[in-house]
Amino acid sequence: MENTEKDRFPCPFPGCASAYTRKTRLREHLIKQQVVHDENHLAQAPEWQTEAVQVLLQTFTRPGNLTQDQRNARKKSSAQRCWNENRETYVENQRVKRDTVRELLDLTSQLKFMIMENTQVMSLLKGDTNGRPALKALYSQPPSINDWLPIHQNGINGALALDNTTFPRFVTYYLRPEVWPVFDIAFYDIEEDEDPPYLIKCLPGKPLFQRICFITHPDKCDKDMRNGSQALLTEAWKIWERVLRKNSSWKNTRIFDRNNWETWRELSPDHAEIVDLYWAWMSVVTEAQKQLMPSKVRLWDIERAFKAEDAGIDNHSQGEEEENSMDLEELMNRLRELNIPGPRKRKGQK
Ligand SMILES: [Zn+2]
């Protein structure tokens, strides 16, 4: 064991003892923690906001994020002050919350074979959990398509906000997680798995584009559909299609791994473009997964459930969903018994 060599890139989180010989390894470690957030890398930890960590994670940030980050800078510094004052309480609350959420996730994961209709998702989300609506217990706020897939209105005709993350955002907003082709090279062990998937299977492609068209196309006349969504989708897909079609050998190419993706990327401009698509896709997936608590629903469903609740619409009278109602009822009973943590209180904690 060569400790000095190993310690060249220590993890900046104080509770974490990990250290790496290569910077990319440290980055992979942090990316993984962005998703799993163990007790040494809590989502609220101020280390996430340090310049060192931000620079390490840079490849995973959309260019468009920077101005948003700057706008949030003030908010973050006050969050950091609060964190310093209440660290102990947070850690304990996080532990309790994590246990409850784990139980909740376990229950909601049982819904995966039952949820067939949006109306069922909605009626579940509108149910009561420990005196609070399940929806509000699971989500502090609704997702917003205008944040997730913005259509900028700053041009004369309303310029579209487009980059290589736009198409992934359509996939994660409109399609269920089961059909997302997620393959995270950070978790892929090249020593154990000698049969990596084809690169093309790790990226959203034309079939998913077509599926989304069925939802967003103006002819489908979904009254929820935002004006211009189909145009945005078409333009967003062009960016992806151009790269996917450019090199016919992608069909027979295996996915790169966490050790060689950087050198692989430098092989040619085509390689660079497709690696960038992969990271654009994975960064959007990571962001979306954070928002999906019953991980089987779509962002679209959640946002619509919020709207339905605000409008006071009651789906119960429609009576179509009776076949599964026993199971749903039993699940709802178990959900009700759970002591769901309330919204975080940032002030006045002792
Ligand atoms: Zn660490």
> What digits encode the pLDDT tens for the residues 19-63?
888 887 888 888 888 877 888 898 888 888 888 888 887 654 344
Give the residue from 16, 33, 60 where a domain finishes. Answer: 60
Q: 217: CA distance to ligand 1 center in Å?
A: 45
Domain boundary among 243, 258, 292: 292
Q: Is 159 part of any domain?
A: yes
32 CA distance to ligand 1 middle (Å): 10
Q: Are 168 and 284 in contact (CB under 8 A)?
A: yes
Cα 50 to middle of ligand 1, angstroms? 14
Give 103 Cα–ligand 1 centroid separation in angstroms.
26
Number of structural domains (the chain) is 2
**317 within domain boundaries:** no
Measured in Å, residue 186 CA sits from the centre of ligand 1 at 14
Do residues 41 and 173 both lie within one domain?
no
H or E element, residue 20: strand 19-20
Q: How far apart are CA 165 and CA 242, in angstroms?
A: 14
Q: Assign residue 312 a region: left if phi > 0, alpha if psi is -120 to 50, beta otherwise?
A: left
| Spacing, Cα 90 to ligand 1 middle (Å) | 18
Do you know the residue count of the chain? 350
Based on the domain organization, do 288 and 181 belong to the same domain?
yes
pLDDT score, position 209: 95
- In the block, which residue shows the tokens 């002030």? 347
Q: Are residues 160 and 275 in the same domain?
A: yes
Q: Residue 345: inside a domain, yes or no?
A: no
SS3 content of the chain, % helix, strand, coil (to 5): 60, 5, 35
For residue 92, being part of any structural domain is answered with no
> Domain range holding 230?
145-292
The answer as to whether 332 is a domain residue is no
Domain boundary among 11, 37, 60: 60
Strand partners, 254: 198
* pLDDT tens-digit map of 173-182: 988 888 899 8
What confidence score (pLDDT) does residue 247 get? Answer: 82
- pTM of this structure: 0.52
User: Hey, CA dihedral for 256, 261, 264, 270, is it positive or negative?
Assistant: positive
* Least confident interval from 6-20, 92-106, 136-150, 236-250: 92-106
**Does residue 148 carry a pLDDT above 90?**
no
Residue 181 covered by a domain: yes
In a domain, 316, yes or no: no
Query: 288 and 173, same structural domain?
Result: yes
* Residue 343 located in a structural domain: no
Higher pLDDT, 252 or 297: 252
Residues 194 and 56 in one domain: no
Query: How confident is residue 314, by pLDDT bands cut at 50, 70 and 90?
Result: very low
Residues 151 and 282 both lie in one domain: yes
